[in-house]
């Protein structure tokens, strides 16, 4: 329980930095759903993001509960290499 509280506290601090710098985020919730987007609001209980991916979430705003998140980190685009 204490470990989860520490993780959420660290995620909130990271989210504040990402929000200030406009860094895109990747989130996975406890049910396995993925969210990729820009942070709109960092709250005590929730995080609000505007999604750009995956396709079924693109252009939508989501309010996610910290306690229901399984992964939270900076979004990094995969590099695609063409072998010609």
Q: Tell me, what CATH number does 68's domain have?
A: 2.30.30.100
Q: Which structural domain range is residue 25 located in? A: 2-74
Q: Identify whether 59 is part of a domain.
A: yes
Q: Identify whether 83 is part of a domain.
A: no
pLDDT, tens only, 15-34: 999 999 999 999 999 999 99
State how far the Cα of 76 lies from the Cα of 13, in Å rounded to an integer: 19
**Stated pTM of the model:** 0.86
Whether 30 contacts 69, CB under 8 Å: yes
Q: Vertex 23, ends 43 and 74: CA angle to 5°?
A: 85
| pLDDT over 50 (residue 50) | yes
State how far the Cα of 21 lies from the Cα of 10, in Å rounded to an integer: 17
Q: Structurally, how many domains does the chain consist of?
A: 1
Q: Is the dihedral of CA 64, 66, 69, 73 positive or negative?
A: positive
Q: Identify whether 29 is part of a domain.
A: yes
């Amino acid at each position: 329980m204490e470990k989860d509280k520490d993780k959420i506290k660290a995620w909130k601090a990271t989210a504040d930095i990402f929000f200030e710098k406009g860094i895109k985020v990747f989130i996975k919730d406890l049910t396995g759903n993925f969210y990729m987007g820009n942070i709109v609001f960092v709250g005590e209980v929730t995080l609000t993001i505007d999604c750009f991916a995956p396709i079924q979430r693109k252009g939508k705003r989501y309010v996610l509960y910290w306690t229901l998140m399984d992964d939270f980190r900076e979004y990094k685009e995969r590099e695609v290499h063409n072998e010609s």
